[in-house]
Copies of this chain bind each other. A is one copy, B any other.
Amino acid sequence: MVVLAPWRSLITHALYRNRSLPSARYLQLATLGLDGFPRNRTVVFRGFREDTNQLQMVTDNRSEKYQQILKQPVGEICWYFPKTREQFRLRGQLLLVSDHTTDSNLSKARCLAWQELSDAARIQFAWPIPKQPLSKDKNAFKPLYISQDRPLTNFTLVLLDPIEVDHLELRGEPQNRYLYTLNESLNWNCQQVNP
């Protein structure tokens, strides 16, 4: 059982205070392209993995970000909350939990993430390959049946395990900025820095 990191309650609080905005659960995940240059896209926050400080997101193993993370499992999340005017930057290792993952706890987390998706989100995993020329077959986007229990094989859970969290509150006078870093004994240090 991992001790909750000190920045966890801040994120919970931000999610609560921004709960009227559906897009407050959207964050931007930067990864390395196969060319070594940065890539950036919006993904949905799917909660923390039980008993960990890992942020959960999901992806399709046919997407570019899957290949990127497979090659370089590092990333930085940028998460801006409009209502409270604060930003979290979370940097760390990324972990792909796929159909091939044998660890039973991770597999369980993947199944749970699938079950908690909306029907509209689940159906996308049965769509044609992302970023290929638009499929001419209209029925390709209308799959017949998808199990709510058992994930499709291309469904992948993505975990970010932060080692540094940079919290900026624009509302301060001046702005407040706090830097959380994980030290070698796996404890979190916090330091207030210039914005």
Contacts and interface: CB of A to CB of B under 8 A. Distances in A.
Interface stretch (A76-84, A96-104, A110-118, A148-156): A76-84
Contacts of A177: 131, 134
Interface of A: 21-23, 26, 28-32, 36-42, 72, 74-78, 80, 82, 87, 89, 91, 124, 127-135, 141, 174, 177, 179, 191-195
A179 B133 CA distance: 10
A168 to B, nearest CB: 9
Given A80-B26, A82-B21, A127-B195, A40 B89 contact: yes
A47 to B, nearest CB: 20
Given A76-B39, A193-B133, A82 B23 contact: yes
A42 to B, nearest CB: 5
A134 B192 contact: yes
A32 B195 CA distance: 21
A129 B89 CA distance: 19
A38 to B, nearest CB: 4
A194 B135 contact: yes
